[in-house]
Structure 1
Amino acid sequence: MTETTNIPQIRFPQHGDRRVWLISSGDSPIGLSVARQVLAHGDCVVSGVVPSNIVRDENRRTYFEDFLAEVERDEDHGWKDRFRTFLLDIRKMGECQAAVAEAVNLFGRLDIVLCCTSQAIVGSVEELSASPRTLSLVRDQFETNYFGPVNIIKAALPQLRSQKGGHFLVLTGITAHLGTPGLGVYCASEWALEGFCDSIAYEVAPFNIKVSILQCSMEICILTNLISSVPPILPAYSASENNAPLFRNILDGLVSRLPQASVASESITSSETPATIAITSPNSNSENAEKLGPFSSLQEVVTMYAPFSAAHLEALTLETVHAITAIGGHENPPSRHIIGQEGVAAVKEKLKTVSEELEDFVQSSYSVNIHESTAEEEFNADIM
Structure 2
Amino acid sequence: MMRAKRNGHVLVLTGVGGHIATPGMALHSAAQWALEGFCDSVAYEVAPFNVKVTIVQPNMEVGVLSNKVVFAPQLPQYDSGQNPAPGPRDILCNVVGYHPEEELDESGERMEEGIVSRFPELSTESADRLVLETVHALTAIGGHENPPARHIVGNEGVQNVKDKLKTVSEELEDFIEASLSADGAYERTEASRGESVEKAT
TM-score (norm 2): 0.87
2:5 maps to: 163
Q: Once superposed, what is the RMSD of the aligned Cα atoms?
A: 2.4
Deviations 1:16-64 (A, max 9, x none): xxxxxxxxxxxxxxxxxxxxxxxxxxxxxxxxxxxxxxxxxxxxxxxxx
Deviations 1:178-216 (A, max 9, x none): 111111111111111111110011111122211110111
1:346 maps to: 160
Higher helix share goes to which structure? 2
**Aligned residues of 2:96 and 2:118 also touching (Cα < 8 A):** no
Q: How does 1:1-384 map to 2 (within 5 A)?
A: 159-234=1-76, 236-256=77-97, 282=103, 284=105, 299-368=113-182, 369=184, 370-384=186-200
Give the deviation of 1:367 after TM superposition.
4.0
Q: After TM superposition, where is structure 1 displaced by more than 3 Å over at least 4 residues in a row?
A: 279-289
TM-score (norm 1): 0.47
Give the deviation of 1:172 after TM superposition.
0.7
1:152 maps to: none
The higher relative CO (CA closer than 8 Å, separation ≥ 6) is in 2
Amino acid at match of 1:342: E
Gaps of 5+ in 1: 1-158, 266-278, 290-297
Amino acid at match of 2:188: E
Mean Cα deviation higher: 246-255 or 192-201? 246-255
Give the deviation of 1:168 after TM superposition.
1.0
Give the deviation of 1:166 after TM superposition.
1.8
Give the deviation of 1:283 after TM superposition.
6.3
Alpha-carbon distance in 2 for matches of 1:353, 1:287: 48
Mean Cα deviation higher: 279-288 or 245-254? 279-288
Amino acid at match of 1:174: V
Amino acid at match of 1:324: L
Deviations 1:140-175 (A, max 9, x none): xxxxxxxxxxxxxxxxxxx22223222211011110
Amino acid at match of 2:21: G
The 1:229/1:245 distance shift into structure 2, 3 A limit, reads same
The 1:325/1:366 distance shift into structure 2, 3 A limit, reads closer
Gaps of 5+ in 2: none
Query: 2:78 aligns to what SS in structure 1?
Result: coil
Amino acid at match of 1:201: A
The count of aligned residue pairs is 197
**Aligned residues of 2:24 and 2:87 also touching (Cα < 8 A):** yes
Give the deviation of 1:282 after TM superposition.
4.4
Mean Cα deviation higher: 222-231 or 359-368? 359-368
**Aligned residues of 2:102 and 2:110 also touching (Cα < 8 A):** no
